[in-house]
Amino acid sequence: MKTSMRTHDGRVALVTGAGQGIGQAIALALAGRGARVIATDLEPPHETARKIGPEAFALQLDVTREEDWRSVAGKVQDLGDADIVVNNAGYFPKRTIDDLDLPTWRKTMATNLDSHFLSVKYFLPAMRKKKWGRFVGISSNMVGLAIPGMSHYITTKMGIVGFMRGLANDVASDGITANSVLPGLTNTQAISPQSDEQKRGTWSQQAIKRLGEPGDVTGAVLFLTSDDAAFITGQAIVVDGGQYRIG
Ligand SMILES: NC(=O)c1ccc[n+]([C@@H]2O[C@H](COP(=O)([O-])OP(=O)(O)OC[C@H]3O[C@@H](n4cnc5c(N)ncnc54)[C@H](O)[C@@H]3O)[C@@H](O)[C@H]2O)c1
């Protein structure tokens, strides 16, 4: 018997920061498994929706703004409510602790952490009614690496792991799981300022000696958002070719 790959048929999946990079790859991968995808970003990510096809939606959602979450939740209700929320949007300017100022700190917290709380606030009630739901937070393997100038970012990425661990307890009785995925260095616009030598310096520390691609991150997200992962919650899965090895 051939196993169906339509693991996400009938699911509605919202992805933040889906205009490019890892978020776009996740949106495309979820659609490829049958999910109806709501791709969101600071501007409606029309290109991502176009790549998926007419069944996809592109909506504006600044993840730091509660009014945007409220508005998107209202629109998604008309599509049958989200079963899956993948919080992927991220903000990661490099600042040593001497150069880090409060506005940068606060923007990093708002983009990388407030977003997770707000997504739960606006999407949990419908998941509870359906007795099924999946929250996935895109963290980073940097939480376990000695990278200077990223204390604010590492704070938020560790916070995502903590939030998912705590959230898992509060939602489990309604068939809802909460997990995080920790990518390693991944070939997106975000790392384009790095030289090839700098990138090699990172990926040469991995067991799998090549730079990660956005498509490398999608497998963990597909698994965690499927029925196959119904008994897996509060977990953190590292997807970095084997660089960081303590979970
Ligand atoms: N690329 C890497 O090496 C790497 C490694 C580990 C983790 N990550 C994480 O993966 C996620 C995606 O990274 P990427 O490399 O694809 O980044 P990227 O910069 O290519 O894309 C990020 C997307 O998020 C959107 N975004 C930024 N602020 C937003 C906001 N306030 N509201 C809504 N959307 C917003 C941007 O418009 C952009 O489309 C981030 O959370 C990042 O921390 C990336």
For the segment 106-126, what is each residue's pLDDT rounded down to a tens digit? 999 999 999 999 999 999 999
What CATH number does the domain containing 61 carry? 3.40.50.720
**245 occurs within a structural domain:** no
- State yes or no: pLDDT of 97 exceeds 70: yes
Contacts (Cβ under 8 Å, ≥6 apart) of 222: 7, 8, 29, 30, 33
What separation, in Å, do the N-terminal and C-terminal C-alpha atoms of the chain show? 36
The structure tokens 């200077």 sit at 148
Q: Is the CB of 45 under 6 A from ligand 1?
A: no
* Crossing angle (nearest 10°) for helices 214-224 and 21-32: 50
pLDDT of residue 1: 43
Instruction: Quickly state the pLDDT bin for 79 (edges 50, 70, 90).
Output: confident
pLDDT in tens, 184-242: 999 999 999 999 999 999 999 999 999 999 999 999 999 999 999 999 999 999 999 99
pTM: 0.98
Q: What percent of the chain has pLDDT over 90?
A: 96
How far apart, in Å, are the Cα atoms of 214 and each of 113, 139, 176, 217?
21, 14, 26, 6
Helix (H, G, I), strand (E, B) or coil at 132: coil
Q: Is residue 160 part of a domain?
A: yes
Say what the pLDDT of residue 247 is: 57
Instruction: Give yes or no: 153 in active site.
Output: yes
**DSSP element (H, E) containing 121:** helix 115-130
Phi, psi of 201 (to 5 degrees): -55, -35
Q: Which residues contact 63 (CB under 8 A, 6 or more apart)?
A: 16, 17, 69, 87, 89, 111, 114, 115, 118, 119
* Shortest-distance Cα residue to atom 20 of ligand 1: 21
Q: How far is 18 from 44, CA to CA, in rounded Å? A: 9
1 falls within a domain: no
Q: Best mutation site among 28, 41, 116, 155 for ligand 1, i.e. most ligand atoms within 8 A of its Cβ?
A: 41
Q: Rounded to the nearest whole angstrom, what is the distance from the C-alpha of residue 205 to the centroid of ligand 1?
A: 23
In this structure, is residue 111 part of a structural domain? Answer: yes
Closest ligand 1 atom number to CA of residue 20: 39
Q: Total structural domains in the chain?
A: 1
Residue 5 lies in a domain: no
In a domain, 26, yes or no: yes
- Indicate if ligand 1 lies below 6 Å from the C-beta of 21: yes
Query: 36 in a domain, yes or no?
Result: yes
Position 103 pLDDT exceeds 80: yes
Question: Does the structure show a pLDDT above 70 at 3?
Answer: no
Question: Which phi and psi angles does 2 have, rounded to 5°?
Answer: -85, 130
Contact between 92 and 150 (Cβ < 8 Å): yes
Residue 2 has pLDDT above 70, yes or no: no
Q: What is the Cα–Cα distance from 132 to 174, expressed in whole angstroms?
A: 6
What is the reported pLDDT for 36?
97
Q: Is 102 a domain residue? A: yes
pLDDT of residue 246: 74
> What range does the domain containing 89 cover?
12-239
Q: What pLDDT, on the 0 to 100 scale, is given for residue 245? A: 85
14, 42, 66: residue to mutate for ligand 1 pocket, most atoms within 8 A of CB: 42
CA dihedral over 119, 33, 75, 133, signed as positive or negative: negative
pLDDT of residue 4: 60
Which atom from ligand 1 is nearest to the alpha carbon of 185? 3
- Confidence band, pLDDT 50/70/90 cuts, at residue 172: very high
* Tokens coding 9: 């048929």
Residue 213: per-residue pLDDT: 98
Nearest CA to ligand 1 atom 40: 90
Mean pLDDT, residues 95-108 taken together: 98
- pLDDT more than 70, % of the chain: 98
